[in-house]
Structure formats: C-alpha cells, structure tokens
A and B are shown apart, each in its own frame.
Chain A
Amino acid sequence: MSSLTADPTFGLFISIGTYALAKELYRRVRHPLLNPVTVTIAAIIVFILTLDIKYDDYMEGGQYLHYLLGPSVVALALPIYERRERILKMARPIIISILTGSLVSILSATFIAYLLGGTREVILSLAPKSVTTPIALGVSEKIGGLPPLTATIVVLTGCIGGAVGPEFCRLIGVKNIFAVGIAVGTSSHGIGTARMMDEDITGAAYSGLSIGLAGMITAYIMPLMMPVIALFI
C-alpha cells in the first residue's frame, strides 16, 4: 500500500481529483457551507485517516501544489495594478478602512485567544487569520506561529465570511456595495470574495482588491504590532 501512496502522483491525484468533484458539487448545490476548499480538505482528511495513510506520504505529491502558493501571492500584483486608477481615486477610504480592519483583526484575534487561555503559539497562529492563506502562512512562520494551524484557521475564517458575510453587513446597516465588498474581502479573503461573486460583481471586485491590500498591509504592519502583542503573551 505504502509503495502506492508514497508515489507523488497519489497526493496530486487525490488533491486535484477531490477538488474537481467538490467544485462540481458546489456548482450544482451553491450552498455557502459546501465551499469547495473546505469540502476537499475535510474529504481528504477523512480519507487518509480511514485508510491510515501517512500525511508525509500525501505530501509527497501535495508539496507541488503547496509550492504554487508563493507564486500566487506574487501574481496578486496584477489585479492590483489593473485597478490602480480607481484605487488611487478612492485611496483614502479604501486604505483607512482596510488598515483599521487589519489592526482590529490582529489585536482582537490575539487578545480574545489570550483571555481564553490560549498558549503563545496558538495566539501567534491566530494573528494573521483574516488574510489570504499564502500571506498568512508567511506571516505566521515569521512571527513564530504554527503555519498548518494558521492555514486551518484562515480557511475556517473564510468560510464564516463566505456563509454569512453579506447578511451580517446588511444586519449592521452596511449597505453601500463597495463597503460590503471591502468588509468581506478584508475579513474573509478569497472565500468571502467567491461568495461576493454570487451577490454583486462590483462588490466582488472590491472584495478581491481588499484581499491583496489587506494581505500586504497585514504583512507590513505585523512587525510593528509584535511589541503590542508581546505585552500580553
């Protein structure tokens, strides 16, 4: 069995095959809780635990997909560049709201976890939770969190915004579609943005823009926030 599962082809096939099925399922059912990434991760975990396959074996192939996260972050430069004129025109509201959101995210996530007795590595793993996975992983690693735990938290955070983000915005009186897009993108990155695509294309564009900006802002302000977090951990 191990000679089969340790073949890099196995991890690649399981990942891409399951994801293709999960996307098809989402396309048919369109339920936010059936987010393709969440479903794929859950299905693969159940699969490898049931058949007692080692995570290291799975990663023989998984590592090739994992590697592509780095280049994907670099690629975010293009959508930001393409929207540069509009970003510059509305620079102040966009930057101030995303900057505030990023600060609230870092401080509230770490402080709440601290109040509930979280350990240092858990608190630090939560710090970059609202930004897109590859950026969150890089930040988590830099500040001493556990990247795999951060990845889990980031995906689940995205699912919250994807499931009820637009509803929550309406509930608290945020009705301007730009504001909804910025709020959903800043709090729940790509998974929230995918949900905005179903809501409103203009809102989705702003949500997408916020992924890159919130990620960049979080990565650059995290070193400045570390002394603040260090006060309570």
Chain B
Amino acid sequence: MLSGSAIILLSLLAGNFLSAHFSLPIPGNIIGMTLLLFALIFGVVKVRTIKPVCDFLLQNMALFFVPVGVGMVAHFDLIGREFLPITVSMIASTFLVMGATGLIAQRMLKGKGSEDELADR
C-alpha cells in the first residue's frame, strides 16, 4: 500500500509539474494518469504494487467529490440567475451524447457484439 501510494503521488506530482511548468492546457491529473499507464505498459511499475491503493481510491471516488459538490452553496445565486441555460443544456446535452455514442457504437460493433458478449460471460 505504501509503495503503491508513493507511485501514485509521484505520477501526480510529475503530471502537475509538467502541466504547470510548460503551461499545458491539460490537467496535471490526466498527465499523471497517462504517465502511470505508460509505466505499466513498459513494465516499470507492477500491477500488484499499485492495485491495493488504486482499488481503495476508485471504490471511494464518489465520496471524494462530496466537498466540491457542497461547494455549490457558494454559487446558488449564479445557478438561480442562469437556471434555464444550465438545466436545459445539461439535460438535452446528456441525451444527445448518450444517443450519438450508443448509436455509433452499436453500428460499428455489429456482428462483433454478440460473440464477444458470450465470450465475456
């Protein structure tokens, strides 16, 4: 757990540093994830080293966004003022994304889906 935590923190630290130092338009956490992915692919980091800490983080991820969600209290007046653009955009866009993604995926997976699905079970 300890060495795994250190590896996660080092990836994040490197990602944050690269993002800030080169003023990249990509968040440091994404760069950190990409670095860790390559470290796994090239065998620099072993799965069993990071698995316990990754499982802990991913299983409890929902809890970690409670504080920032509560932060909406500071923006109630803004949400009230722009209620229509925020809610309509959010709802309509969510269904558009789901429709576009699902229809394209289904079309491209045609014939492939059923056999893979059986193999998966």
A interface, CB within 8 angstroms of B: 11, 15-16, 18-19, 36-37, 40-41, 44-45, 48-49, 55, 58-59, 62-63, 65-66, 68-82, 84, 90, 92-94, 96-98, 100-102, 104-105, 108-110, 112-114, 116-119, 122-123, 126, 129-130, 132-135, 137-139, 141-143, 146-149, 151-157, 160-161, 165, 168-169, 172-180, 182-184, 186-188, 190-191, 194, 202, 205, 212, 215-216, 219-220, 222-223, 226
Given A72-B57, A116-B85, A151 and B30 contact (CB-CB distance below 8 Å) = no
Assess the B74–A148 pair: CB atoms within 8 A: yes
Assess the A55–B12 pair: CB atoms within 8 A: no
Q: Could you say which of B47, B58, B67 contacts A75, with CB atoms under 8 Å apart?
A: B58
Assess the B64–A65 pair: CB atoms within 8 A: yes
Closest to B56 in A: A75
Assess the A172–B102 pair: CB atoms within 8 A: yes
Given A72-B64, A141-B27, A179-B102, A118 and B120 contact (CB-CB distance below 8 Å) = no
Subset of 17 A-B contacts with CB under 8 Å:
A16-B63, A62-B66, A63-B67, A72-B57, A74-B12, A78-B58, A79-B54, A100-B101, A104-B93, A113-B86, A129-B94, A132-B61, A134-B61, A134-B64, A141-B27, A168-B99, A183-B105
Question: Nearest Cβ in chain B — how far from A161, in angstroms?
Answer: 6
Assess the A90–B100 pair: CB atoms within 8 A: no
Q: Could you say which of A66, A105, A117, A175 contacts B106, with CB atoms under 8 Å apart?
A: A175
Question: Nearest Cβ in chain A — how far from B58, in angstroms?
Answer: 5
Question: Nearest Cβ in chain A — how far from B54, in angstroms?
Answer: 4
Interface of A is mostly: helix
Assess the B9–A71 pair: CB atoms within 8 A: yes
Question: Nearest Cβ in chain B — how far from A220, in angstroms?
Answer: 6
Assess the B65–A69 pair: CB atoms within 8 A: yes
In the assembled complex, which residues on chain B have CB atoms less than 8 Å from the CB atom of A36?
A: 62
Assess the A183–B98 pair: CB atoms within 8 A: yes
B interface, CB within 8 angstroms of A: 8-9, 11-12, 15-16, 25-30, 32-34, 36-37, 40-41, 47, 50-51, 53-54, 57-58, 60-75, 78-79, 82, 84-86, 88-106, 108-110, 112-113, 116-117, 120-121
Q: How far is the CA of A176 from the CA of B104 in the complex (A)?
A: 11
Most buried by A among B9, B32, B62, B109: B62
Assess the B113–A177 pair: CB atoms within 8 A: yes
Assess the A148–B27 pair: CB atoms within 8 A: no
